[in-house]
């Protein structure tokens, strides 16, 4: 049975934000008759606007999904809602919807350390060949084209073998997944923990940053103890002039204890502190 090609809602040539190559595991969560289904996949490129991926499952253009991936050099996983723009065979394009400031800052932090994907320009040049050597040049061109086709076929085989190995290793990893026990630290979303803040101190805007016109978002990975105090902070991203002030303020925050099975538990969450000049 042959399926009609999916309609594309997006064109790469119309992207306002350049995407950068990124090859990490990715999960896409879709609702099937009200039941969430997890589709494993592989990210191919990423920007603040969206993500390109290879997903082992069928997606419908216009469908809303959830995406989860982990950026290199960023300590926390990124979870976001997205809209399916297109799917052609296994390849698809997902447009982010409603990214939070800390998520955008995480992408910018990663992107600042990753070169943008560039499409090489091919310029055609007009060459006039002498009549006596035209046939010889033609033979050389055909030989070069044959070599190019051979190289393309070899590369295709290598990519195919790599894809097969990746699929097998992905399944092996899934078999070895261990369900977290009740003694392990829980990760709670920033939205949930923001509603449990019982005491909050605003950070002091560093004078050096104010004079330099520096503003932005500092993203912190925080460990909240069972009594609601902040026991540990690690910087995920943010301007160095703002990080120290944000860390000093967040250390004094207090949260309502997070209960799991009726008992206070230590949790890990993400906290974002925004510095904006008025």
Domains in the chain and their CATH numbers?
A: 12-111 (2.40.10.220), 186-275 (3.30.2420.10)
Tell me what pLDDT residue 51 has. Answer: 92
User: Mind listing the pLDDT tens digit for each residue in 29-87?
Assistant: 888 766 778 888 899 999 889 999 998 888 888 888 889 888 887 767 888 889 898 88
Nearest of 81, 80, 35, 31 to residue 59 by alpha carbon: 31
pLDDT exceeds 80 at position 126: no
Tell me what pLDDT residue 144 has. Answer: 59
Confidence of residue 140 (pLDDT cuts 50, 70, 90): low
pTM score above 0.75: no
Lowest-pLDDT range, 20-24, 69-73, 112-116?
Answer: 112-116
192 vs 165, more confident = 192
Residue with tokens 């085989």: 157
Average pLDDT score over residue span 219-237: 93
Label each residue of the chain as H, E or C: CCCCCCCCCCCHHHCCCCCEECCCEEEEEEEECCEEEEEEEEEEEECCCEEEEEECCCCCCCCEEEEEECCCCCCCCEEEEEEEEEEECCEEEEEEECCCHHHHHHHHHHHCCCCCCCCCCCCCCCCCCCHHHHHHHHHHHHHHHHHHHHHHHHHHHHHHHHHHHHHHHHHHHHHCCCCCCCCCCEECCHHHHHCCEEECCCCCCCHHHHHCCCCEEEEEEEEECCCCEEEEEEEEECCHHHHHHHHHHHCCCEECCEEECCEEECEEEEEEEEECCC
101 vs 209, more confident = 209
Confidence of residue 180 (pLDDT cuts 50, 70, 90): very low
Average pLDDT score over residue span 108-130: 58
110 vs 54, more confident = 54
Mean pLDDT (the chain) is 75
Calculate the alpha carbon distances from 79 to 34, 118, 186, 194 in Å.
20, 27, 16, 16
58 vs 13, more confident = 58
Confidence of residue 249 (pLDDT cuts 50, 70, 90): very high
Tell me what pLDDT residue 143 has. Answer: 55
Per the structure block, which two tokens stand in for 185? 């630290």
120 vs 102, more confident = 102
Confidence of residue 277 (pLDDT cuts 50, 70, 90): confident
Tell me what pLDDT residue 147 has. Answer: 58
Tell me what pLDDT residue 149 has. Answer: 54
Confidence of residue 150 (pLDDT cuts 50, 70, 90): low
């Amino acid at each position: 049975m042959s399926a009609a090609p999916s309609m594309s809602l997006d064109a790469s040539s119309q992207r306002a934000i350049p995407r950068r190559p990124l090859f990490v595991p990715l999960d896409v969560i879709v609702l099937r008759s009200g039941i969430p289904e997890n589709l494993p996949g592989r990210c191919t490129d990423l920007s603040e606007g969206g993500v390109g991926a290879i997903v082992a499952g069928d997606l419908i253009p216009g469908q809303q999904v959830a995406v989860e991936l982990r950026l290199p050099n960023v300590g926390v996983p990124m979870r976001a809602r997205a809209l399916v723009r297109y799917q052609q065979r296994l390849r698809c394009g997902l447009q982010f919807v409603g990214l939070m400031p800390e998520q955008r800052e995480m992408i910018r932090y990663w992107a600042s350390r990753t070169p943008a994907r560039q499409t090489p320009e091919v310029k055609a040049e007009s060459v006039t060949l002498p009549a006596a050597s035209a046939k010889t040049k033609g033979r050389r061109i055909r030989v070069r084209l044959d070599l190019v086709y051979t190289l393309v076929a070899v590369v295709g085989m290598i990519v195919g073998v790599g894809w097969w190995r990746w699929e097998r290793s992905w399944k092996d990893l899934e078999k070895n997944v261990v369900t977290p026990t009740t003694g392990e630290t829980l990760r709670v979303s920033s939205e949930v923990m923001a509603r449990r803040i019982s005491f909050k101190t605003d950070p002091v805007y560093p004078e050096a940053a104010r004079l330099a016109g520096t503003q932005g978002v500092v993203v912190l990975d925080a460990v909240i103890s069972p009594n609601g105090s902040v026991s540990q902070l690690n910087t995920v991203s943010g301007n160095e002039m703002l990080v120290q002030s944000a860390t000093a303020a967040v250390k004094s925050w207090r949260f309502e204890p997070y209960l799991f099975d009726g008992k206070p538990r230590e949790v890990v969450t993400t906290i974002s502190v925004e510095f904006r000049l008025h």
